[in-house]
Amino acid sequence: MGKTQIRKPYKKRKKKSPFVLFVFLGLLVGGVWLINGGSVLSDGQLPNLFQAKQSQQSFSKKANTYLKKRNPKTINYPLNLQTDERWSELSYGDNTLGVNGCAIATLSMILSKEQNRVVEPTEILDWAKDVYFVEGAGTSWTIFQDFATYYGLPFKNLGNSINSALDYLKKDIPVVVSVAPGEFTDTGHIMILAASKDGNIQVYDPNDTPKKSHYKKTYTKDEISSQVINYWVYA
C-alpha cells in the first residue's frame, strides 16, 4: 500500500537536533510498518517489539518444517492445530473448534498418516459433527473407536499402559493420548505421541503455540506417563 504525501507551505527550516531527527525517523518507520500490516521489512530488520504477531497458521508451517527436519524418516503426518485461523472459528460443541477441537485435530493427523494425504480438521468435523461432544466434558472417547470403524482402520485401546504405548512408538506408530491437567492442559486434552530420534518421546500438541513450543521438546517415559490417562493406537 502506498502513501499520499501532502506538501506544506515552504517555511524556513530550523536546525533540528539529532535526537529530534532520531525520534522522527522512528515514528516514520513505525507508521509505514503499521500501514503495511507489519510486512514492510524482512525478518530481522526490526526488533521484536515491531514484529507482527505470528499467526497460528504460519506457526504450524514453521513447526512442521522443524519436525520434518528433526525426524525425516519417521514423521509422515503433519502437526494440525485446532487454533489454525483457517478453521478455529468453526462451531464445535458449545464453542469453537479452536477451543474444543483437540480430538478433532488429532484425528485429522492420524488420518493424514493412514491415508498418506493432507487431511484437515474440517474433514473430521464434517464427519463427527457435534455427535461426540459432551457439554462440560469435551469430546467423548467413543469417537476413537467409531472413527476407526468409519474409516476402516485397525484400532486398539491400550488403557493406561505406557509400556504398550512404547512398543508401538518403537515401530514409528503414533499413539493418541488423553492427558490430565499438567504441562499440556489446565483441564483435559487429546494429542499425539511419536518417536523421536533422540530416543525420547515427541509430542504433537494440537493446541501448541509459539510460547509453549512443545514441538521443539522431547519427553522421557516418566514425564509422559505421569500425565497420561489413556492411550490408543490405530494399528
| Tens-place pLDDT, residues 23-78 | 444 454 444 333 344 433 333 333 443 445 789 999 999 999 998 888 766 567 89
In whole angstroms, give the CA distance from residue 97 to residue 99: 5
Stretch among 1-5, 70-74, 81-85, 219-223 having the lowest mean pLDDT: 1-5
In whole angstroms, give the CA distance from residue 64 to residue 224: 22
Percentage of residues of the chain with pLDDT beyond 90: 71
For position 225, what pLDDT does the model report? 98
Chain-centroid distance, C-alpha 233: 21
In whole angstroms, give the CA distance from residue 97 to residue 34: 30
Is 232:190 a contact under the CB 8 Å cutoff? Answer: no
- Residue 7 is given by DSSP the state P
Q: Report pTM.
A: 0.77
Contacts of 81 (CB under 8 A, 6+ apart): 56, 57, 59, 60, 105, 206, 207, 208
CATH H-level superfamily of 56-233: Cysteine proteinases (3.90.70.10)
In whole angstroms, give the CA distance from residue 132 to residue 128: 7
For position 76, what pLDDT does the model report? 76
User: If you average pLDDT over every residue of the chain, what do you get?
Assistant: 83
Is 71:63 a contact under the CB 8 Å cutoff? Answer: no
Residue-wise pLDDT for 158-214, tens only, equals 999 999 999 999 999 999 999 999 999 999 999 999 998 889 999 999 999 999 999
- Domain borders along the chain are 18-50, 56-233
- Residue 125 is given by DSSP the state H
Q: Helices (DSSP H) in the chain: which residue ranges?
A: 18-35, 56-70, 97-100, 102-115, 121-128, 142-151, 162-169, 221-225
For position 184, what pLDDT does the model report? 96
